[in-house]
Amino acid sequence: MALIVQKYGGTSLSSVEKIRWAAAHLVRTKEAGNDVVAVVSAMAGETDRLYEMCLEVMDPPDSRELDVITSSGEQVSSGLISMAVRALGHDAVSFQGHQVRILTDDSYSNARIMDIDAVRIREAMGCGKIVVVAGFQGVDSGGNITTLGRGGSDLTAVALAAVLGADACELYKDDVDGVYTADPEVVAGARKLRRVSYEEMLELSSLGSRVLQGRAVEFAKKFGVPVQIRSTIEPEREGTWVIEERSAMGELEQMLISGVTFDNNQSKITAIKVPDRPGIASRLFTLISDEDIVVDMIVQNVSTEGYTDITFTVSRTDFKKALGITERVAGELGASGVVSDKKIAKLSIVGVGMKTHSGVASEMFRVLAAEGINILMISTSEIKISCVVGEKYSELAVRALHKAFGLGEAK
């Protein structure tokens, strides 16, 4: 008998029919002889609706009450799923974060899980019940309701799977059925991967792949939770396993690159000709991080005659704020000017095969050059190479790279 955690995302719960389908799937899994714990998101669009309502009442909203309100979407869907299971004649019970008890720190809206006491879940499973847990929510040591950041139900599912020692954590989606070599809407021949390693998935999540919350992948990696992304549309089909590199190696070894992605939500800012002396980068990036702006790439040139240029990228959402800060501090830094570009994209190729193979970067640059695409910035990690290019080239570049690295070919 296996213990399976199944997470149902918001789009898989967007109507009463879909809720019934999820309940029936839980029952099928249980009848096949497994113990099942469901983790549910709010019904599609509900969390956004709640956020917007809060903003209408108070902007910026009170952080404690914001979590009281936004966590309620999951309360509704957990109750509904449990009821739908009961309507099918099976026993089920729903638990909220504080009932489980998912103890978090007190950073409202983005709380970290400190501890999970799964006694009530185990008791209920012991009585033969299907347990339905509201995702996304926890409770701090003072008893206040907290939430785990957008997409946080993935984290709830992975964390519960870790604590319960589950055999698998299945994440059901209905907009995707796995992780692909590229966005199938952009690359016609994109192929679903059978397996990716946690590390690759982390890079893919941080690159804007919406498949899995980044923090959930980090957690899965830390505790070795085998995660599978599956489709509610075709639940019998194998999805993509996100697992440890070692166990994925057989397949990964043949593959240099697992995927090509791009992110158009990028912009870049350059402080030109700043004096090359200690404290300049520190001053600029402290001001930027004080505003909670996340900087992605940073490039500083070799200095000539005591001056250098500093270029960095931020999401387009933060562009105006970051540009404003840079322009305000430019005089103090001794910069001769600030230039910026809002129409850029970040292209990345990801693959653990890069650790052991050379020539991947040069191949990427060759492909871009052959398409006449100019590279504006480059950054690399052990398993990723990213190039910033003009936004208008991003889709062309993804297709060319996908083809050059043979990603569409059946393995």
Contact 335, 359 (CB under 8 A): no
Determine the size of the site formed for Mg ion (CB under 5 A): 3
Return d(Cα 283, Cα 326) in angstroms, integer: 10
The residue among 205 and 311 lying less far from ligand ASP, judged by its C-beta, is 205
Which residues in the 232-271 window bind ligand ASP by CB under 6 A? none
Decide if 260 contacts 348 (C-beta within 8 A).
yes
Cβ within 8 Å of residue 81, ≥6 positions away: 8, 13, 19, 22, 23, 26, 38, 40, 92, 94, 132
**Looking at 9-17, 105-113, 114-122, 349-357, which segment touches Mg ion (CB under 5 A)?**
9-17
Positive or negative torsion for Cα 356, 362, 364, 367: negative
Q: For ligand ASP, which is the closer residue by CB, 152 or 353?
A: 152
Closest CB 212 distance from ligand ASP, rounded Å: 10
Whether residue 299 contacts residue 386, with contact meaning beta carbons closer than 8 Å, is answered with no
Residue 136 within binding range of ligand ASP, rule CB under 6 A? yes
At 280, list the tokens.
Answer: 């300049």
Residue from 150, 316, 321, 403 touching ligand ASP (CB under 6 A): that is 150
What span, in angstroms and rounded, lies between the C-alpha atoms of 64 and 129?
33
Candidate ranges 59-67, 146-154, 375-383, 387-395; the one touching ligand ASP (CB under 6 A): 146-154
259 binds, among Mg ion, ligand ASP, none (CB under 5 to 8 A by kind): none
Instruction: Decide if residue 214 touches Mg ion (CB under 5 A).
Output: no
Q: Which residues contact 177 (CB under 8 A, 6 or more apart)?
A: 192, 229, 230, 231, 233, 234, 237, 239
- Of 12 and 267, which has the nearer Cβ to Mg ion? 12
- The residue (of 10 and 259) whose beta carbon lies closer to Mg ion is 10
Site string for Mg ion, 28-67 (x = CB under 5 A): -------------x--------------------------
47 binds ligand ASP (CB under 6 A): yes
Q: Check whether the bond before 60 is cis (ω within 30° of 0).
A: yes
Check if the beta carbon of residue 100 is closer than 8 Å to that of residue 120. yes
Distance CA 170, CA 7 (A): 6
Q: Which is nearer to Mg ion, 210 or 357 (CB)?
A: 210
Q: Does 10 bind Mg ion (CB under 5 A)?
A: yes
* Positions in the binding site for Mg ion (CB under 5 A): 9-10, 41
* Positions in the binding site for ligand ASP (CB under 6 A): 10, 41-42, 47, 73, 135-136, 150-154
